[in-house]
């Protein structure tokens, strides 16, 4: 399958009172047609900012995309004007945000808000957009969608609001859907509903998905490929099975080890990662995970490793040390 | 197994919150937050309490501590009914039952130093004063893995995981016997969650503590608990030894809940069949008649709308509230 989106050396910074925050430090990845790419990592590692940078959605100032390239349909997204980006956002690439309540306008009806992207991007009349909104609300499983078009967001439960957000993201049948922790605030039974729904829609509509989460469980069942982020870098990227079976980066190993598993019959002490995530106030000339890493060697303190291929095809890791042997590659 | 000593016995506990609609309306409506639950916690064990948002977990915890006074029912702690105690008598007993809260920031007074926060309960209960108190605070800081040199710092100078440790130290200040942990790790990053869970486990072993561990992360609850209780809409629907509950759940709600939890393993996820529950949890203001789960239960029959299923011991030590427990076990 061909590459739909190619991101290269993306760097984004924020000016703050404490200094420049190096939120994204040279992120490169490709997204294939129809592929679901998972992006995992803990709070503040740059998951949201890296994606929002692509769509011109970070606040400028304090934010600034300082370097990089993002090829989509022959154009570099990072070079487009706001006007040009507006035609892409919501139409060809759409985003479903984490918190559906703050993403809705509380005084507009669900119907109006769902229909809006279609009206804007397809120059559609009210009636046509309305009909399409009903169709997409039905598609995401809102019962009696037609009758509920005139309801307001507060009349919907959290799970239903998240469904409406997805309907809004899908109504223009985008090629790429970016889902930023769309189920994090939801209960696990509702989360399971939404994930089942997304899998079904993905297969029906053939779109590519970028799914941002800190939950390694969700990604295991959903993604084809996973990027693990730490401190503004992608530190490991691999096909999903390869990543879980043969994790290579000490951070990935730590994350997987810190999760309890439901199928363990005997007690196992959780592996914890000591120390704290980086402050991002400098762009490190060393490995960003070094202060917390059990495998660190001398070299890690003065040289920041780049992603390079290991273990099987298509598996890349940014680390000097092979954790299996404890020795440098 | 040796005779287990009951530390806490909750009997037929109810907590209803009246709803004030208009200023003058004599509305009799109320939230059935906790609607008749009974269980025991044995000395030295961890009882996990799980269920979806709003099912009454926190209310249960707070009512045990008498932070909310029960609408009816009893909370026997070491044989004495806390619900019947008042004033000084209650305060004396209550020092042995402490709570750790979800939000490690909101639950710590930002204008007090760490030393004052941890020392406060000792002031109130007149246990340690002056130099002795200082020593005790330092001891506690060390016990939870914080540097005693931090004693004069303020909460905002700590990370989330460290703030949660401060919360733990404060809960330990009066040598409690039972600690209600209300989602103590939900606000923390995955890599930090394991640190706090390991700490709670170490303290339990060292100090012989008993925990009621409230959480919605079912894998973590399984990891830390000896037995697990599942709540739905104000009642406990199932309670059993954790291995038995997770391997062979009886109640249809427990089955669905467990099947919804994603596994961090793509090889398992690939072939997993989920029970997807339809719709949302009904309102706790007008819970369904008979069995509360019947509006979403695939096994529901006529009797389920008419009669409340009894919470009974279906297998030794394994309780469930379903009319068809014997068929489903
Ligand atoms: N408007 C802003 N001003 C200053 N710093 C910001 C701003 N937005 C983001 N950052 C910083 O950029 C870094 C990356 O943030 P980002 O939102 O991408 O994290 P994330 O991986 O999505 O985390 P989370 O899981 O918490 O959503 C963080 O350190 C954050 O503090
Ligand atoms: N002080 C209160 N006044 C009125 N209603 C309340 C109060 N506290 C809780 N409730 C209601 O009681 C029900 C149970 O709430 P509770 O906080 O115990 O749920 P929970 O299981 O802890 O949920 P969560 O997982 O979201 O923390 C909810 O419907 C809630 O809105
Ligand atoms: S490069 Fe060194 S410090 Fe960084 S993750 Fe690898 S071993 Fe650890
Ligand atoms: S009592 Fe009936 S409705 Fe309730 S869980 Fe059992 S079968 Fe389902
Ligand atoms: Mg984010
Ligand atoms: Mg709660």
Note whether A188 contacts B216, CB cutoff 8 Å.
yes
Residues of B in contact with A189 (CB under 8 A): 52, 256-257, 260, 276-277
Q: Scanning the structure block, which residue is given the tokens 């606040």?
A: A59
Query: In the prediction, which pLDDT does A274 show?
Result: 85
Q: What stretches in chain A show pLDDT beneath 70?
A: 99-101, 311
At B136 the pLDDT is 94
- Å from CA of A232 to ligand 1 middle: 10
- The DSSP-derived string for A98-133 is S-HHHHS-TTS-HHHHHHHHHHHHH---HHHHHHHH
Query: Which positions in chain A touch B159 (Cβ < 8 Å)?
Result: 276
- CB of A29 within 8 A of CB of A53? no
> What pLDDT shows up at residue B27?
65
Could you give the 3-state DSSP secondary structure of residue A309? strand
CB atoms within 10 A of CB A292: 18
Is the CA virtual torsion A228, A234, A240, A244 positive or negative?
negative
- Chain B interface test: which of A198, A267, A270, A294 (most B C-beta within 10 Å): A270
User: What is the 3-class SS of A211-270, one letter each residue?
Assistant: EEECCHHHHHHHCCEEEEEECCEEEEEEEHHHHHHCCCCHHHHHHHHCCCCCCCCCCCCC
Q: How many CB atoms are located within 10 Å of the residue B196 CB? A: 26
Q: What is the pLDDT of residue B240?
A: 98
CA B327 – CA B250 distance, rounded (Å): 9
How many degrees, rounded to 5, is the angle at CA A142 between CA A137 and CA A144?
Answer: 100
Q: Report how far residue B184's alpha carbon sits from residue B164's, in angstroms, rounded to the nearest whole number.
A: 7
Ligand 3: centre distance to CA A285 (Å) = 13
| Gyration radius (Cα) of chain B, Å | 21
Three-state DSSP state, A158: helix
Q: Where along chain A do its domains lie?
A: 3-92+174-260+270-328
Q: What is this structure's pTM?
A: 0.91
In A, which residues are within 8 Å of B189 by CB distance? 42-43, 214, 277
Confidence (pLDDT) at A80: 95
Measured from the Cα of A59, ligand 1's closest atom is 1
| Domain A3-92+174-260+270-328 class, CATH top level | alpha beta
pLDDT at B2: 54
Q: Show the tokens assigned to B295.
A: 């509006």
How far A120 CA lies from chain B's nearest CA (Å)?
32
Both tokens of B158, joined, read: 């700590």
Of B194, B260, B267, the CB nearest to A188: B260
Tokens coding B228: 């697990």
Q: ipTM score here?
A: 0.85
Q: What pLDDT does residue B212 have?
A: 98
The second-level CATH assignment, the architecture, of B6-18+30-96+176-248 is 3-Layer(aba) Sandwich (3.40)
Query: What's the pLDDT at B25?
Result: 59
CA distances B163 to A266, B101, B192, Å, are 31, 11, 11
Q: How many helices (H) and strands (E) in chain B?
A: 12, 12
A305 lines ligand 3 (CB under 6 A): yes
Q: What is the pLDDT of residue A97?
A: 83
Point out the residue among A160, A241, A277 whose CB comes nearest to the CB of B267. Answer: A241
Cα gap A266→A283, rounded to integer Å:
43
Do B263 and A217 lie within an 8 Å CB cutoff?
yes
* Protein residue with least CA distance to atom 3, ligand 1: A14
Ranges of chain B whose pLDDT falls below 70: 1-3, 21-27
Mutate to test the pocket of ligand 1, among A48, A55, A61, A215 (most ligand atoms within 8 A of CB): A48
How many other C-beta atoms can be found within 10 angstroms of the C-beta atom of residue A290? 19
Q: What is the pLDDT of residues B198-238, one digit of tens each?
A: 999 999 999 999 999 999 889 999 999 999 999 999 999 99
Ligand nearest to the Cα of A13, by number: 1
Q: CB of A193 within 8 A of CB of A185?
A: no
Residue A185's pLDDT is 76
What pLDDT is attached to residue A31?
A: 97
Contacts of B201 in chain A (CB under 8 A): 269
Any CB–CB contact under 8 A between A272 and chain B?
yes
Boundaries of every domain in chain B: 6-18+30-96+176-248
- Separation in Å, CA of A303 to nearest CA in chain B: 24
> Which residue has tokens 């609001």?
A161
Tell me the C-alpha distance between B317 and B329, whole Å.
Answer: 13
Q: Measure in Å the smallest separation between the Cα of A218 and chain B Cα atoms.
A: 6
């Amino acid at each position: 399958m061909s590459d739909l989106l190619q991101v290269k050396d993306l760097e984004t910074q924020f000016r703050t009172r404490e200094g420049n925050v190096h939120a994204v430090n040279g992120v490169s990845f490709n997204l294939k047609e129809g592929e679901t790419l998972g992006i995992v990592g803990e709070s503040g590692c740059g998951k949201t900012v890296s994606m929002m940078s692509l769509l011109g959605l970070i606040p400028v100032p304090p934010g600034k995309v300082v370097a990089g390239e993002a090829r989509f349909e022959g154009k570099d997204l990072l070079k487009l004007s706001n006007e040009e980006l507006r035609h892409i956002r919501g139409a060809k690439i759409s985003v479903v945000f984490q918190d559906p309540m703050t993403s809705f306008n509380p005084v507009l009806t669900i119907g109006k808000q769902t229909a809006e992207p279609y009206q804007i991007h397809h120059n559609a009349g009210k009636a046509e957009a309305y009909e399409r909104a009903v169709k997409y609300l039905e598609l995401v499983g809102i019962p009696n969608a037609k009758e509920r078009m005139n309801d307001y967001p507060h009349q919907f439960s959290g799970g239903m609001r998240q469904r409406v957000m997805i309907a809004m993201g899908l109504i223009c049948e985008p090629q790429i859907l970016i889902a930023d922790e769309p189920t994090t605030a939801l209960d696990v039974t509702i989360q399971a509903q939404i994930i089942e729904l997304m899998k079904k829609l993905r297969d029906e509509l053939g779109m590519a998905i970028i799914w941002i989460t800190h939950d390694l469980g969700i990604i295991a069942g959903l993604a084809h490929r996973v990027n693990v982020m730490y401190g503004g870098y992608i530190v490991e990227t691999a096909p999903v099975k390869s990543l879980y079976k043969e994790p290579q980066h000490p951070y990935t190993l730590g994350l997987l080890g810190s999760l309890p598993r439901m199928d363990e019959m005997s007690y196992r002490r959780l592996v914890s990662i000591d120390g704290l995530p980086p402050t991002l106030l400098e762009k490190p000339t060393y490995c960003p995970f070094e202060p917390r890493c059990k495998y660190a060697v001398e070299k890690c303190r003065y040289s920041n490793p780049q992603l390079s291929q290991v273990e099987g095809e298509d598996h890349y890791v940014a680390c000097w040390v092979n954790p299996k042997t404890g020795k440098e590659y | 197994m040796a005779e287990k000593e009951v530390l806490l016995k909750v009997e037929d506990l109810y907590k209803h919150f009246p709803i004030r609609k208009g200023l003058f309306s004599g509305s009799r409506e109320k939230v059935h937050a906790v609607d008749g639950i009974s269980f025991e916690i044995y000395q030295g064990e961890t009882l996990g309490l799980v269920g979806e948002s709003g099912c009454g977990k926190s209310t249960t915890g707070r009512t045990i501590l008498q932070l909310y006074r029960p609408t009816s029912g009893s909370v026997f702690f070491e044989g004495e009914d806390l619900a019947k105690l008042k004033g000084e008598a209650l305060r004396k007993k209550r020092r042995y039952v402490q709570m750790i809260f979800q939000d490690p920031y909101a639950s710590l007074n930002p204008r007090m130093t760490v030393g004052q926060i941890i020392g406060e309960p000792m002031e109130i209960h007149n246990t340690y004063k002056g130099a002795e108190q200082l020593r005790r605070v330092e001891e506690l800081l060390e016990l939870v893995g914080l540097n005693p040199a931090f004693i004069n710092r303020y909460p905002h100078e700590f990370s989330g995981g460290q703030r949660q440790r401060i919360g733990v130290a404060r809960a330990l200040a009066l040598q409690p016997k039972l600690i209600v942990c209300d989602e103590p790790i939900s606000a923390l990053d995955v890599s930090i969650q394991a640190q706090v869970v390991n700490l709670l486990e170490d303290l339990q072993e060292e100090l012989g503590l008993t925990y009621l561990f409230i959480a919605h992360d079912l894998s973590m609850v399984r990891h830390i608990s000896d037995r697990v209780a599942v709540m739905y809409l104000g009642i406990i629907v199932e309670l059993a030894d954790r291995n038995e509950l997770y391997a062979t759940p009886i109640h249809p709600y427990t089955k669905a809940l467990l099947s919804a939890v994603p596994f961090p393993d793509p090889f398992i996820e690939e072939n997993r069949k989920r029970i997807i529950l339809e719709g949302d949890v009904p309102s706790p203001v007008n819970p369904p008649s008979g069995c509360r789960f019947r509006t979403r239960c695939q096994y529901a029959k006529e009797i389920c709308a008419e009669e409340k299923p009894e919470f009974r011991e279906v297998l030794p030590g394994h309780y469930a509230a379903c009319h068809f427990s014997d068929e489903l076990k």
